[in-house]
Amino acid sequence: MIVDKNNEGAGCGQVEVGGVVFGGTRLVLIAGPCTVESREQMLEIACAVKEAGASMLRGGAFKPRSSPYAFQGLCEKGLEILAEVRERTGLPVVTEVLESSQLPVVAAVADMIQIGSRNMHNSVLLRDAGVCGKPVLLKRGMSATIQEYLYAAEYVLAAGSRRVVLCERGIRTFETATRFTLDLSAVPLLKERTWLPVIVDPSHGTGKASLVPAMSRAAVACGADGVMLEVHAHPDKALCDGDQSERPEMFYKIVKELRLIAEAVGRTI
């Protein structure tokens, strides 16, 4: 398979997104709210996470909510806000696409297309994302085996793209004390099996803001090429995933701690 580590020449192990490189010595810190709520919210949080050391901005415009009655995102308006905030801050933007028909509008704005956990098995979307011309952040399906995950990445690669980044975001187990079980062993395992960069999302992986700092440190320690964290200026008022969102002050503290871990494993931030 193209994705295989021993498939020499398939990919160089690095993926560049708007000047940010995944898979190099420098770790990539993606931060931002779960969802784009307003222009003011995004401008405030983008400036705060940039100041703290984030290299990319996240924020969902089209949201894959478990309940059809939950906030579904600002959609096209959310994309407009992301475009303006990118312009103002210089931070490259990653945002999710839920279906192929959204690819043209999302790709027109996003520096990187996110395919979420719930869509990891959507082979049509994977193939279409692979030809859209933008790098893809492919999150692990919450019930996907490593083999199924690699097949999903292969769909994107087989469509012609070489710019795919994997993201471990927790899997379903019998445990209910955390939202998901963050499978950090997936990081060194994926690194053994594939040449693709691998990042970790401890926010969705734990569902609890109090656990995110420790699991972020663990992610860097086990070899992740970066982390993606949900950060919100007012988590208690967040329209989505407030329980797992860090305040900007805490994000600043996490980045400081990650610098120490990064240095210990021969990386920088």
Residues binding ligand PEP: number (CB under 6 A): 11
Q: Which of 204, 217, 232, 267 binds ligand PEP (CB under 6 A)?
A: 204
In the complex, least distance from residue 63 CB atom to ligand PEP, rounded to whole angstroms? 7
**What character string, x for contact with ligand PEP (CB under 6 A) and - otherwise, covers 125-154?**
--------------x---------------
Q: Who contacts 258 (Cβ-Cβ below 8 Å, separation ≥6)?
A: 27, 29, 216, 217, 220, 227, 269
Rounded to a whole number, what is the distance in angstroms from the first to the last CA of the chain? 32
Exactly one of 11, 32, 73, 116 binds ligand PEP (CB under 6 A); which one?
116
Is residue 248 within the footprint of ligand PEP (CB under 6 A)? no
The residues, any chain, with a CB within 8 Å of residue 171's CB and separated by 6 or more, are 140, 142, 143, 144, 180, 181, 183
Q: In terms of CB distance, is 20 or 36 closer to ligand PEP?
A: 36
Per the DSSP assignment, residues forming a β-bridge with 179 are: none
Q: Catalogue the E-assigned strands of 170-240.
A: 198-200, 226-230
What residues line the site for Mn ion (CB under 5 A)?
A: 34, 241
Site track 6-35 with ligand PEP (rule: CB under 6 A), x = hit: ----------------------------x-
